[in-house]
Structure 1
Amino acid sequence: MSESSPFEPVGVILAVDPDRFAEVIEAVRRAGLTVTGEQPILGALSGTIPENRIQALKKVVGVVTVDRDRTILLPPHPTPRSSN
């Protein structure tokens, strides 16, 4: 398995102060985030950013948490058997 580059974009999900949403979104864009989704009422947004810029996001005033976007695969749901 190859190492990923610190400059390669990764998906992130941010929880932000909903009362400062517009201000925070501009600041995280300046920090290098490409915004892909916004949920202002919930105070959440998603985007991509180079791996080496994640720490800069965490320092933006109004950012509560920064989490890596992950895909979780669930096992298939069993098909119910008929009772005939």
Structure 2
Amino acid sequence: MGQAPRSGPVGVILSVAPDRFAQVVEAARRTGLTVTGEQPVLGSLSGTIAEDRIPALEAVDGVESVDREQIVRLPPPDSPIQ
């Protein structure tokens, strides 16, 4: 049959080696990461990537961890449950 469809992009937050931040960002981009935020002082990077590319992202030298973004929805301030 045909190829399996590629998974859609997911939001990720990376913890990276601060002393090699720029090199890690470039290597992460080469794996398919679309960078949406950089915090070099904190050693943190955020972006989106196809779910099936996360293992390649985790294997980038200098990437300490990769966490999927989690969306938290809070009820409106005037709702009875807070």
Shorter-chain TM-score: which interval? 0.7 to 0.9
What residue ranges of structure 1 are gaps of 5+ in the alignment?
79-84
Aligned residues with identical type, % of pairs: 64
The equivalences for 1:49-64 within 5 A come to: 49-64=49-64
CA distance in 1, matches of 2:52, 2:14: 16
2:45 aligned partner, one-letter code: L
Q: Secondary structure at the match of 1:61?
A: coil
Q: Secondary structure at the match of 1:64?
A: strand
Q: What's the counterpart of residue 21 of structure 2? A: 21
- Structure 1 length-normalised TM: 0.80
What residue ranges of structure 2 are gaps of 5+ in the alignment?
none
CA distance in 2, matches of 1:38, 1:63: 14
Q: Deviations over 1:16-51 (max 9, x none)?
A: 000000000000000000000000000001000001
RMSD: 1.7
- Structure 2 length-normalised TM: 0.82
CA distance in 1, matches of 2:47, 2:65: 13
Number of equivalenced pairs: 75
- 1:40 correspondence with 2:40: yes
CA drift of 1:73 comes to 2.8
> Rg: which structure is higher?
1
Query: Structure 1 residue runs of 4+, over 2 Å off?
Result: 73-78
Q: What's the counterpart of residue 73 of structure 1? A: 73
Q: Secondary structure at the match of 1:22?
A: helix
